[in-house]
């Protein structure tokens, strides 16, 4: 659907492929929360906790499941997954920069004569595109971004300002990369000869699938010999570190400040919580959910939820428990001795 300032409810319902109950000609010009929406806006209910806000909501229409439809007195869009429908609706009202739909090439951009740019590619100021680069149609390259030699970007990509793509990086369709991200820097590889660290030159590349989103200041290192591989639909938050030779399966999500050590393989449909550390050379199967701040130092062979770290406590409680933790070994030894003594006839 073409972006515009407002839509009728029928247009939105058709776009979302949901059922409309109410006035099909009602004009919608934005989105709002149940508590904060104004007339002319579209809201949604996905969490039953907020059903008490339906009666006072001023939105002109609400995306809602059939289960709660009777609690909604006005116009409604009936969706089996309201939050997913809301997510799709946000795309209708996303603000586009003026240059994004123009296919403009800024005069300050430096583009090697051998680079190939598809139809309607936009290149902003101070971009550098090296030899042998190919960029697919309708892609947008933000201010000050760099694309290294022989890298490829498929159609409909969006690179925000200041993205660095090193040489021989392959990026799929519909990929979004936020400011400050670095794709294809050398992995951290050194061999110690007894006196100094000898650099292992990183000879692989990075392969990124379709529909991937990479957060601001996230880094994905190139492989040492084989490529680092990011599957289709992977989503990475800000300040994520992915080391060399890592393989990440389709539709896995990595939350902010998480880090994955070299040569680790993560399966499909996994969720890695914020601040998680995963050491190198591990294998994690599909559909694993790792809680925030966990330290993963062993492979995970069964789907499920995994957690480590210390939950929030009052400082006074934490101090007492920290002392007890230091005493666990001696307590265990005393307990073993006690068990031995009670086992004697």
Give Cα 197 distance to the centre of its chain.
34
Of 108, 107, 101, 153, the residue nearest 122 (C-alpha): 101
Distance CA(134)–CA(150), nearest Å, equals 8
The per-residue pLDDT for range 35-94, each reduced to its tens digit, is 999 999 999 999 999 999 999 999 999 999 999 999 898 999 999 999 999 999 999 998
Taken in order 319, 323, 328, 329, is the CA torsion positive or negative?
positive
The per-residue pLDDT for range 239-298, each reduced to its tens digit, is 999 999 999 999 999 999 999 999 999 999 999 999 999 999 999 999 999 999 999 999
Taken in order 334, 335, 339, 340, is the CA torsion positive or negative?
negative
Distance CA(217)–CA(261), nearest Å, equals 17
Residue 2: per-residue pLDDT: 56
CA distances to 97, 106, 109, 134, 211 from 127, rounded to whole Å, are 17, 8, 5, 14, 23
Catalytic: which of 5, 244, 251, 281?
A: 244
Of 227, 234, 229, 230, the residue nearest 211 (C-alpha): 234
Q: Is the pLDDT of residue 100 over 60?
A: no
The per-residue pLDDT for range 208-251, each reduced to its tens digit, is 999 999 999 999 999 999 999 999 999 999 999 999 999 999 99
In this prediction the pTM is 0.89
Cβ proximity of 303 and 285 under 8 Å: yes
Segments making up each domain of the chain, as ranges: 7-93, 166-306, 316-345
244 annotated active-site:
yes
Kindly state the helix (H) or strand (E) to which residue 87 belongs, with its residue range: helix 82-93
Kindly state the helix (H) or strand (E) to which residue 336 belongs, with its residue range: helix 328-343
Task: Domain 166-306: give its CATH superfamily.
Answer: Hexapeptide repeat proteins (2.160.10.10)
The per-residue pLDDT for range 290-333, each reduced to its tens digit, is 999 999 999 999 999 999 987 888 999 989 998 998 999 999 99
Q: Where are the beta strands (DSSP E) in 56-138?
A: 61-64, 75-78, 110-111, 116-117, 122-123, 128-129, 134-135
Tell me how long the chain is: 345
Higher pLDDT, residue 97 or 205: 205
Distance CA(294)–CA(284), nearest Å, equals 14
Average pLDDT in the chain? 94
Does the domain spanning 7-93 belong to CATH 3.40.1390.10? yes
Q: Where are the beta strands (DSSP E) in 268-307?
A: 271-272, 277-278, 283-284, 288-290, 295-296, 304-306
Parallel, antiparallel, or unpaired: how do β-strands 213-214 and 206-208 relate? Answer: unpaired
Distance CA(269)–CA(140), nearest Å, equals 28
Residue 17 backbone class (left: φ over 0; alpha: ψ -120 to 50; beta: rest): left
Q: Is the pLDDT of residue 345 over 90?
A: no
Question: Any idea what DSSP says for residue 287?
Answer: S
Cβ proximity of 177 and 160 under 8 Å: yes
């Amino acid at each position: 659907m073409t972006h515009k300032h407002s839509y009728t409810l029928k247009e939105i319902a058709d776009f979302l492929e949901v059922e409309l109950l109410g006035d099909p000609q009602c004009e919608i010009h934005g989105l709002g929360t149940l508590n904060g929406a104004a007339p002319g806006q579209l809201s949604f209910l996905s969490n039953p906790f907020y059903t008490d806000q339906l009666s006072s909501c001023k939105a002109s229409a609400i995306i809602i499941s059939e289960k709660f439809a009777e609690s909604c007195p006005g116009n409604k869009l009936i969706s089996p997954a309201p939050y997913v429908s809301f997510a799709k609706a946000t795309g209708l009202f996303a603000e586009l920069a003026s240059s994004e739909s123009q296919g403009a090439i800024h005069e300050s951009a430096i583009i090697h004569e051998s680079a190939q740019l598809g139809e309607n590619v936009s290149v902003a100021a101070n971009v550098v595109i090296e030899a042998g680069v190919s960029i697919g149609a309708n892609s947008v390259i933000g201010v000050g971004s760099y694309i290294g030699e022989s890298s490829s970007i498929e159609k409909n990509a969006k690179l925000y300002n200041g993205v660095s793509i090193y040489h021989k990086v392959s990026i799929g369709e519909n990929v979004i990369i936020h400011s400050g991200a670095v794709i294809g820097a050398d992995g951290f590889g050194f061999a110690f000869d007894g006196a100094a660290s000898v650099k292992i030159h990183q000879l692989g590349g990075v392969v990124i699938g379709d529909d991937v989103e990479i957060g601001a200041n996230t880094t994905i290192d190139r492989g040492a010999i084989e490529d680092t591989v990011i599957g289709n639909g992977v989503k990475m938050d800000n300040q994520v570190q992915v080391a060399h030779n890592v393989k990440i399966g389709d539709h896995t999500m990595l939350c902010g400040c998480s880090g994955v050590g070299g040569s680790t393989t993560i399966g499909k449909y996994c969720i890695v919580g914020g601040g998680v550390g995963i050491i190198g050379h591990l294998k994690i199967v599909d559909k694993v959910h790792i809680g925030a701040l966990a330290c993963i130092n062993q492979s995970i062979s069964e789907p499920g939820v995994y957690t480590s770290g210390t939950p929030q406590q009052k400082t006074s409680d934490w101090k007492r428990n920290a002392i007890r933790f230091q005493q666990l070994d001696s307590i265990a030894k005393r307990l073993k001795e006690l068990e031995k003594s009670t086992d004697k006839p």
